Amino acid sequence: MPRPYTLFTGQWADLPFEEVARLASGWGYDGLEIAVSGDHLDAWRWDEPGYVEAKLAILDKYNLKVWAISNHLKGQAVCDDPIDFRHEAIVGSKVWGDGDPEGVRQRAAEEMKHTARLAKALGVDTVVGFTGSSIWQYVAMFPPVPEKVIDAGYQDFADRWNPILDVFDECGVRFAHEVHPSEIAYDYWTTVRTLEAIGHREAFGLNWDPSHFMWQGIDPVSFIWDFKDRIYHVDCKDTKLRFTGRNTVMGSHLPWGDPRRGWDFVSAGRGDVPWESSFRALTAIGYTGPISIEWEDAGMDRLHGAPEALAALKKFDFPASQTSFDAAFSTKD
């Protein structure tokens, strides 16, 4: 069976949900990875009579399915320190409230629990998102940071996320954390430590998005193999590297699309992600879930880019062999 292709709606939350469904269906997508954002999904309405049914009816109208939903923005606020103007712009008034940092974290955690309940109501078993981090601010490790501060950061993550994951377990839903700078797990070793912090509980896995690996120098293919039992979802976004000696990995506080940046997100298939090797690795670990296109490219119109990315990635993906190597070359008497 070929893997289904979905469009992540996070970058489309300015459009009505039905309009995004109409566009994605017309472009040939199999479904949507629906963001808890805009009018696409509201986790607080998970048990409102008729709410879930109305969303499923829209999908059915356009012959689309849903395998995963996402809540990156509220997940970000669960562990972040500081909580400031950046969060006010992304978490919405219900979670922001009066802006008291601990209150924001608590309300964000409550929304993540509701997101698990919403996923169950939709018949979905995977929620994609961020965790936030109280120690990302120390990534440069200067001024010097005592080891006990880093230890406390991982403990803070475990203390805040284990109660959320308890609800995920109750709902039979998994959380797929997107390994990403600014999160508790952002590269190889921080992913190892994050899984250790929560005792490798099965409710917590990973969303493989290679775009964030490329500019950090992480091999996206090896990452698939090393964490093969934790790849719960796949988001496809591409990155173009332009390290010139002036253009560097840190981005220089320059906006997306600025040619002075050392790297930028581009439409899938136009960057440096080794897509064919990555898809082969996903096949090798037995991943049969959706390939979700997270479309971002500051230099391209999204109405052109989203269908182009779908066609580009399908060229690199193909069904696995139905005959094993050993069987193909075996001899019989």
- Measured over the CA atoms of residue 182, residue 188, residue 189 and residue 194, the dihedral's sign is positive
Three-state SS at 273: coil
Neighbours of 26 (CB within 10 A): 10
pLDDT at position 318 is 86
pLDDT at position 235 is 98
pLDDT at position 295 is 98
pLDDT at position 2 is 86
Three-state SS at 291: strand
Write the class of the CATH domain 5-316.
alpha beta
CA separation for the pair 238, 310 (Å, rounded) = 12
pLDDT at position 321 is 76
What pTM, to 2 d.p., does this model score?
0.95
Query: Facing residues of 206 across strands?
Result: 177, 231
3-state helix vs strand vs coil in the chain, percent to 5: 45, 15, 40
Number of residues in the chain? 333
pLDDT at position 320 is 80
pLDDT at position 330 is 57
Q: Among all chains, which residue has been given the structure tokens 């606020």?
A: 77
CA separation for the pair 174, 185 (Å, rounded) = 17
Measured between alpha carbons, how far apart are the two ends of the chain, in Å?
A: 33
Looking at residue 303, its amino acid is L
CA separation for the pair 305, 311 (Å, rounded) = 10
CA separation for the pair 200, 151 (Å, rounded) = 17
pLDDT digit string, tens, across residues 52-91 = 999 999 999 999 999 999 999 999 999 999 999 999 999 9
Token digits of residue 185: 């797990």
What element of type H or E holds 293? strand 291-293
CA separation for the pair 98, 120 (Å, rounded) = 30
Residues 6+ apart with CB under 8 A from 209: 178, 179, 180, 234, 235, 236, 237, 294
Q: Give the CA dihedral 68, 71, 72, 73, nearest 10 degrees.
A: 160
Residues lower than pLDDT 70 in the chain: 1, 323-333
What element of type H or E holds 91? helix 85-96
Token digits of residue 14: 């300015």
